[in-house]
Structure 1
Amino acid sequence: MRKLLVVVVLVLAGCSSNEPPAAVPRPRIDFTIAEQKVTAKPFLYCDVKVEDCRRDNAAMIKRPVPPGTSVKITVPKEVADTPWSVVIQYRTATGEQKAPVTVATFGPGKQTSFEALPTEPGAQLQTVEVKQAGGVLVQGDNGPEPVTRAAWSLQVTA
């Protein structure tokens, strides 16, 4: 009986590991420009409590977007099931640089896609970012605001 117990203990010991559990794949989103789709990894990704964050600036997508052309954004279920928003930055037809502006915000389970386009005719998009809210709120100018947990970015090139 003792030999069987030793074998069971050794087998169970071989099943355990000191390695951390495999990382959950980070969600990817799609940016579509004139029927051409590109998939982006997050350039910022944190745990839900926004305590453990990783940044990867190389994950920012760079693509040309002609003036007046929209960018369609499609997010997976794991992003759509949380609050998320779209932030754009653009230059007007006269060359005036506009500050980043949130053009859409969605509640959990409300939307899986959005088409981003500046409201001014002839404006040139410069960045399109998707931001996923984390489980932390901070006091903003207009009350409590969620802290960004993850962000994906399309940088417009000439």
Structure 2
Amino acid sequence: MRRAVVLTALPLLLATGCGAPPHPEVTFYADGRTVVVAPTQYCDLDSENCDVDPSAAGVLRVRPGKPVQISVPAQLADSVWAVAFTYRDAAGVTQEPMRSKVFTPNNPQHAYTLQLPNDTDQLESVEVQQLGTRIEGSTTAAVDFVARGTWVLSVDDRQRG
């Protein structure tokens, strides 16, 4: 009798121990500080069936003109991904959002250093985007791959005091 209990409990233990793997995390480093960020959105390859967590965004203080180093795990490096960012110039004028080149599995990229165009520019936000397989048209007749995963860094640009 005791043997039957052990055998029927074993499948239950195996089933509870085999959950979905955790979503990948991205590390941002700037000005001597690091923050590890979970995705604010993570979907399947078709950019559907998404888990959304806006509170997953990270915050770092970044001084004008200073770079942000970004490290991604193999799960991202072996996929198609890019870095989108917003910033303002020295006069405080918000510039058009920009994006890094797109990295692909043909040449895996595990790290990227985001450097703004001018030393006086102030970074506002950074978003690592893992692209999925879904394509959407845009108003400029171009096509865009839809992000399946996004990791967001908000920049704290207050002066240190």
Report the TM-score when normalising by structure 2: 0.82
User: What residue number does 2:41 align with?
Assistant: 44
- Counterpart secondary structure, 1:79: helix
Query: Residue by residue, what CA displacement relative to the aligned partner does 1:82-110 show, whole Å, maximum 9, x if unpaired?
Result: 11000110010011012321133211243
Identity value in percent? 30
Question: Which structure carries more strand by proportion?
Answer: 1
Q: Hey, what does 1:146 align to over in structure 2?
A: 145
What corresponds to 1:4 in structure 2? none
The answer to whether the Cα contact below 8 Å between 1:117 and 1:125 also exists between their aligned partners in 2 is no
2:99 corresponds to: 102
Instruction: Measure the CA separation in 1 of the matches of 2:33 and 2:9.
Output: 51
Separation of aligned partners in 1, 2:101 and 2:141: 17
- 1:111-150 Cα deviation digits (max 9, x unpaired): 1111112202300000011000112222233543211000
Which residue, out of 80, 90, 93, partners 2:90? 93
RMSD of aligned Cα (Å): 2.5
Note the residue ranges of structure 2 that are not aligned, 5 or more in a row: none
Shift of 1:80: 0.6
Cross-structure match for 2:121 = 123
Measured after TM superposition, the shift of residue 62 of structure 1 is 1.1
Bigger shift: residues 132-141 or 118-127: 132-141
Measure, in 2, the Cα distance between the counterparts of 1:152 and 1:104.
Answer: 17
- Give the one of 52, 55, 62 matched to 1:55: 52
Uncovered stretches (5+) of structure 1, i.e. residues with no partner: 1-6
